């Protein structure tokens, strides 16, 4: 009887602990911080509307330059689209920690801070940087870097500092920036294949353009779309295998590289787990697992694991990332067998001894064909993808090659 309340308290404590540890994935909550200060309610509201708030919460060593409601009203009177407002506000999020003390003690009196606008990949030249300069009389000036050297705003006060995770400061007004204020095309006007082509994913983009999958991508633009596009060298090496797929297989493979939801990088980092793709259709799962390892985000299919290597565009509701491997759905490709079984009728596979195969031959000069890992052409192409990817995979393969060599030597 006596124990019950104790138990209750214990359970409550545990629940609280779980709750707290569950929420520390985001070390801070900008919405909650600003909610304590009604003079920033408009700024706060727009951080939520533009989905910048979760982006901010997912980052540490960051400074948010907030402006008061009067300054926000001035911005809103320009009747800009929400996408343009997002660019402007992202220019007010500095990717470094500037507390009041550091602001007044900048080395050499001036510094350029990269911003979230820079990180979207849409800021031309140095437009994504903010110039911070210590001025006479203890003033600190702020200006968008490509704004002709004009320091158009100044530091007002520190709002909240959690060293060195997040510093929220007030600046006098919105930083004018022609680049950030440039009309941002609505997502339905974005040409995703053009974006990919311009940034090292032309082979994938051209393949997509030649396939009916392209219209599915376009149909999902407005509702939210995340694309994982393999870099040119990777997709080029994969083309022989692609060409061997059936028409339906080709479309499914291309659709497998899109997710019908917008996800920023920090959303991907904090939303690990299974995700459906554009290829998902009832019983045909075509799903993949998103998993982050620190700052790295990986995409695991049951066949291979790709890594996100870059951001081509991240503007709600469209995100396009580059990946270092072609995502191979288990519905189309066999997983690498853990134990080599005698050639289980190879899947759609590379034909002629193309580049992938010869490369592989060089890397592993047959340490007694018996335990050469079931050399289905599938494996060959997969491993070529590895060649273009993470260094540690190469290292692992190198080590196993040495081991195999030594083992082979001992047998002789």
Ligand X SMILES: *[C@@H]1O[C@H](CO)[C@@H](O)[C@H](O)[C@H]1NC(C)=O
Minimal distance, residue 197 CB to ligand X, in Å: 5
| Residue 29 beta carbon to ligand X: minimum distance, rounded to whole angstroms | 4
- Using CB under 6 A as the binding rule, whether residue 63 contacts ligand X is answered as no
Residue the block writes with tokens 């920023």? 264
Q: Which residues contact 253 (CB under 8 A, 6 or more apart)?
A: 242, 245, 279, 326, 329, 332
> Considering the complex, what minimum distance in angstroms separates the CB of residue 90 from ligand X?
19
Joined tokens for residue 93: 């999020």
Exactly one of 73, 81, 105, 165 binds ligand X (CB under 6 A); that residue is: 165
Task: In angstroms, give the least distance from the CB of 149 to ligand X.
Answer: 3
Long-range interactions of 160-163: CB distance < 8 A, separation 24+: 160/33, 160/36, 161/99, 161/100, 162/27, 162/28, 163/97, 163/99
Q: How crowded is residue 316: how many other Cβ atoms within 10 Å of its Cβ? A: 20
x/- letters, 339..368, toward ligand X (CB under 6 A): -------x-xx-x-----------------
Binding window for ligand X (CB under 6 A); candidates: 25-33, 36-44, 251-259, 354-362: 25-33
Distance CA 203, CA 388 (A): 15
Q: Work out whether 277 is an interface residue with ligand X (CB under 6 A).
A: no
**Gap between the Cα atoms of 225 and 207, Å rounded:** 18
Give the total of residues touching ligand X (CB under 6 A): 30
**Per CB under 6 A, 284 contacts ligand X:** no
**CB of residue 218 vs ligand X: minimum separation in angstroms?**
7
Q: Which tokens in the block code for residue 292?
A: 């982050």
First to last CA, the chain: 74
> Is residue 162 at the binding interface for ligand X, with CB under 6 A as the rule?
yes
Helix (H) or strand (E) holding 299: strand 296-300
Angle, alpha carbons 50-54-58 (nearest 5°): 140
- Binding span for ligand X by CB under 6 A among 187-195, 259-267, 285-293, 298-306: 187-195
CA-closest candidate to residue 280, choices 317, 300, 252, 243: 252
Sign of CA dihedral 24, 28, 30, 35: positive
Of 237 and 299, nearer to ligand X (C-beta) is 237
The vertex-276 CA angle with 275 and 280, nearest 5°, equals: 160
Of 108-147, binders to ligand X (CB under 6 A) are 108, 110-112, 131, 133
Least distance in Å: CB of 118 to ligand X?
Answer: 14
Q: Candidates 22-30, 71-79, 254-262, 300-308: pick the segment binding ligand X (CB under 6 A).
A: 22-30
Task: Rule CB under 6 A: say whether 191 interacts with ligand X.
Answer: yes
Distance of CA 104 to the CA centre of its chain: 34
194 binds ligand X (CB under 6 A): yes
User: Can residue 152 be called a binding residue for ligand X (CB under 6 A)?
Assistant: no
Strand partners, 65: 169
Our finding on whether 187 is near ligand X (CB under 6 A) is no
Provide, rounded to whole angstroms, the least separation between the CB of residue 400 and ligand X: 27
Q: Which is nearer to ligand X, 126 or 388 (CB)?
A: 126
CA distances for 211 relative to 111, 234, 246, 249, 319, angstroms = 48, 19, 12, 11, 21
Q: What is the 3-state secondary structure (H, E, C) of 231-249?
A: CHHHHHHHHHHHHCCCHHH
Residue 57 lies near ligand X (rule: CB under 6 A): yes
Rounded to the nearest whole angstrom, what is the least distance from the CB of residue 5 to ligand X in the complex?
A: 30
Instruction: Give residue for tokens 């134990």.
Output: 339
48 lies in the binding site for ligand X (CB under 6 A):
no
Q: Considering only residues 41, 244, 272, 276, which one is a binding residue for ligand X as defined by CB under 6 A?
A: 244
Shortest Cβ 62–ligand X spacing (Å): 10
Q: How far is residue 79 CA from its own chain's centroid?
A: 30
Tokens of 47: 């951080």
Which C-beta is closer to ligand X: that of 27 or that of 402? Answer: 27
* CB of 271 or CB of 388, closer to ligand X: 271
In the complex, the residues that contact ligand X under the rule CB under 6 A are: 23, 26-27, 29, 31-32, 35, 57, 60, 107-108, 110-112, 131, 133, 149, 151, 162, 165, 191, 193-194, 197, 209, 244, 346, 348-349, 351
């Amino acid at each position: 009887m006596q124990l019950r309340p104790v138990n209750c308290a214990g359970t409550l404590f545990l629940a609280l602990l779980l709750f707290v540890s569950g929420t520390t994935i985001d070390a801070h909550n900008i919405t909650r911080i600003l909610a304590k200060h009604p003079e920033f309610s408009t700024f706060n509201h727009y951080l939520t509307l533009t989905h910048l708030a979760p982006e901010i919460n997912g980052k540490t060593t960051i400074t948010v330059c907030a402006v008061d409601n009067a300054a926000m009203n001035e911005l809103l009177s320009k009747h800009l689209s929400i996408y343009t407002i997002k660019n402007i506000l992202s220019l007010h999020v500095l990717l470094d920690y500037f507390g009041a003390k550091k602001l007044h003690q900048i080395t050499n009196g001036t510094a350029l801070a990269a911003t979230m606008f820079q990180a979207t990949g849409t800021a031309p030249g140095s437009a994504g940087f903010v110039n911070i300069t210590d001025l006479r009389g203890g003033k600190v000036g702020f200006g968008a870097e490509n704004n002709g050297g004009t320091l158009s705003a100044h530091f007002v006060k520190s709002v909240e500092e959690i060293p060195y995770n997040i510093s929220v400061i007030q600046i006098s007004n919105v930083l004018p920036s022609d680049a950030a204020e440039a009309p941002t095309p609505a997502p339905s006007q974005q040409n995703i294949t053009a974006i990919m082509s311009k940034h090292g994913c032309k082979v994938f983009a051209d393949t997509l353009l030649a396939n009916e999958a392209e219209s599915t991508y376009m149909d999902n633009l407005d509702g939210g779309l995340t694309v994982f596009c393999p870099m040119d060298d990777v997709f080029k090496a994969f083309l022989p295998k692609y060409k061997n797929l059936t028409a339906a297989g080709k479309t499914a493979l291309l659709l497998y590289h899109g997710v019908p939801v917008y996800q920023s990088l920090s959303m991907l980092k904090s939303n690990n787990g299974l995700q459906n793709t554009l290829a998902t259709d009832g019983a045909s799962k075509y799903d993949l697992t998103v998993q982050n390892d620190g700052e790295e985000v990986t995409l695991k299919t049951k066949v291979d694991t790709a890594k996100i290597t870059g951001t081509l565009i991240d503007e709600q509701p469209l995100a396009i990332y580059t990946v270092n491997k072609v995502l191979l759905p288990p519905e189309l490709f066999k997983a690498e067998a853990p134990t080599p079984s005698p050639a289980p009728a190879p899947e759609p596979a590379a034909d002629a001894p193309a580049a992938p195969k010869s490369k592989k031959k060089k890397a592993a000069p047959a340490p007694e064909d018996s335990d050469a890992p079931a050399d289905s052409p599938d494996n060959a192409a997969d491993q070529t993808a590895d060649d273009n990817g993470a260094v540690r995979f190469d290292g692992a393969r190198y080590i196993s090659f040495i081991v195999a060599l030594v083992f082979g030597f001992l047998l002789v």
